Amino acid sequence: MPVSSTSIVTAARVVAQTLADETDPGARCLVIGELGLVEALEQAGFEVTQTDHRNVEYVVVGMDRQFTYEKLRAAALAIRNGAKFISSNPDPAYPDGKELIPASGAIQAALEATTGVRARVTGKPELPGFQIAIKLLGSTSAQTGMLGDQLETDILGAKRAGLKAFLILSSLTPCFFPDKALWRPDAVFDSTLDFYRKWVER
C-alpha cells in the first residue's frame, strides 16, 4: 500500500510525543534503543544520553540489538536515582525472518527485575499510540480498524481504544482458539492479503 512517511506512527514517535506533551523541552533522557528512538526524542526537544545515568529525568526503553550490560547498569542506576521508567513497546519477542528474537519487552523485564520498578508503557496495548493515529487519520474510534498479529498487544489495545480488531495469523500467533482467548478479535484472517480480499474488496 502506498503510504507517506508522515502517515506512519511508530512506537518511537508515540513515546516522544507522549513525553513532550507532559514535560518541558530539554528534559534529559537515558535511552536504551536504536537510532529511530534516539532521533524521535531529539526531534521532540529532549537531551539524549545512552551512557550517563546522572541527572536523568526519564529512562526510555525500546528495541536495541546492541544491548549491553553497561546499558543495563546505567539505566538501572538512573531509575534507582528517581528517573521515570518508560517503555515504548512491551513485546517480549520479535519475528526476525524465521526466528523469534528478544525484543524491547525483554529489556524492560530485565530492568523491572533489577530495580523493582514497573515501566510505564506508551505503546500497544496502551492508548497513546491509538489516540495519536486516530487524530492523524482525522477519524474516530468507531470508524477505525486495527490489524495485528498479537492478542496481548494488538487486539487488546484495539479493544481498549474502541476500534475494530482484526487478527492476522503469523509466526507469533499461528492459530486462534476462540474458547481459550481472553481477548476476541472481530475477525481472523490468514494474512493481510486475505484481509484485503475478504474485508476491503467485499
Q: How far apart, in Å, do the first and last CA atoms of the chain sit?
A: 18
Phi-psi region of 83 (alpha: psi -120 to 50; beta: other; left: phi over 0): beta
Q: What is the pLDDT of residue 15?
A: 95
Residues 6+ apart with CB under 8 A from 137: 144
What distance separates the 2 farthest-apart alpha carbons in the chain? 57
CB atoms within 10 A of CB 167: 25
CB atoms within 10 A of CB 2: 4
Residues 6+ apart with CB under 8 A from 27: 19, 46, 47, 57, 58
Q: What is the pLDDT of residue 193?
A: 92
Domains of the chain: 5-121 (3.40.50.1000), 138-200 (3.40.50.1000)
Residue 147 · residue 177 · CB < 8 Å: no
Residues of the chain with pLDDT under 70: none
Q: What is the pLDDT of residue 169?
A: 93
Q: What is the pTM of this model?
A: 0.85
Alpha helices by DSSP H, listed for 62-200, are 69-80, 104-115, 128-137, 156-161, 192-195
Helix (H, G, I), strand (E, B) or coil at 32: strand
Distance of CA 80 to the CA centre of its chain: 24
